[in-house]
Amino acid sequence: MSEVLEVKNASKTASPTAKPASVAPAWPSSLYATPRVQAWTTPLNESFVAEEIVEGCRLAIQHLGMDGLRSVGVTSSLRGEGRTTIAIATALVLAEYGLNTILLELDLANPELAQRLAVARFPGLGDLAEGRAILTDTIRPVVAGLSIIPAGVVQGSIPRALSQLSKTEVLDTLVSEGHVIVADLPPLLGNSAGRQAAGLMADVILVVRARVVPASSIIEAVGGLPVTPKVLVNGTKSRVPGWARRLSGV
């Protein structure tokens, strides 16, 4: 908490156009001023998340319960199961309910959220963890009640950056400010960052893409997680044509 505040103070004393001392030249310096470009406020529509998915997440959130909801991470066993889309939809639903929602891009290795929501990709969590930015500079408003903190750039190792985020209590700060955090986590299999990032969350939603991932892989993925994930099955729409369903009576 104290480190975050120090970072904030350091940023406040610096000129808006000045380059922080520890920043590598990975993006134009003008982006440090977090200008509110038009793209940041582009409203969410069908091109981001289909309405059917938002509706599915709406029901899932009702089932999960919003009382005492502080941080929820969205993960999956493997990449490509719809984790990021579900995270966006979940954040959108919480914002609809009037919660001050922050969408956190914790998949630092393969960030997609910023690009999909058409907001600046940095500075973000990586920069925050490595001391190149302050928290307020990383928050991008998307729609009313919903903001995003992109992944930014991680110059060191991702586990170390995640560990640093945990130490600096960024999430606690956000929660204490009245935000509800929805995090797009890395997948659980294939790297250690998934479990580490999931450990930062109070609740975890495990996205399981229907008819794709074997049950054994899911069991292996959730083994040893600090919290029991709640499953959201993605893509359950039947692939059986209507005529075949009528013929078989299913």
Shortest Cβ 66–another protein spacing (Å): 12
Shortest Cβ 57–another protein spacing (Å): 7
- What is the Cα–Cα distance from 19 to 23, expressed in whole angstroms? 7
Residues sharing a CB contact under 8 Å with residue 3, sequence separation 6 or more, in sequence order: 167, 168
The site for another protein (CB under 8 A) is made up of 49-50, 52-53, 55-57, 59-60, 63-64, 79-86, 89, 112, 205-206, 208-216, 218-219, 222, 228-241, 244-245, 248-250
- Complex with another protein: residue 31 or 210, whichever CB lies closer: 210
Shortest Cβ 179–another protein spacing (Å): 22
- What is the Cα–Cα distance from 150 to 39, expressed in whole angstroms? 14
- Complex with another protein: residue 178 or 223, whichever CB lies closer: 223
Q: Is 247 left (phi over 0), alpha (psi -120 to 50) or beta?
A: alpha
Q: Is the CB of residue 71 less than 8 Å from the CB of residue 200?
A: yes
Around Cβ 16, how many Cβ atoms within 10 Å?
11
Query: Kind and range of the H or E element at 140?
Result: strand 140-143
Shortest Cβ 20–another protein spacing (Å): 32
- Complex with another protein: residue 37 or 227, whichever CB lies closer: 227
- Complex with another protein: residue 133 or 232, whichever CB lies closer: 232
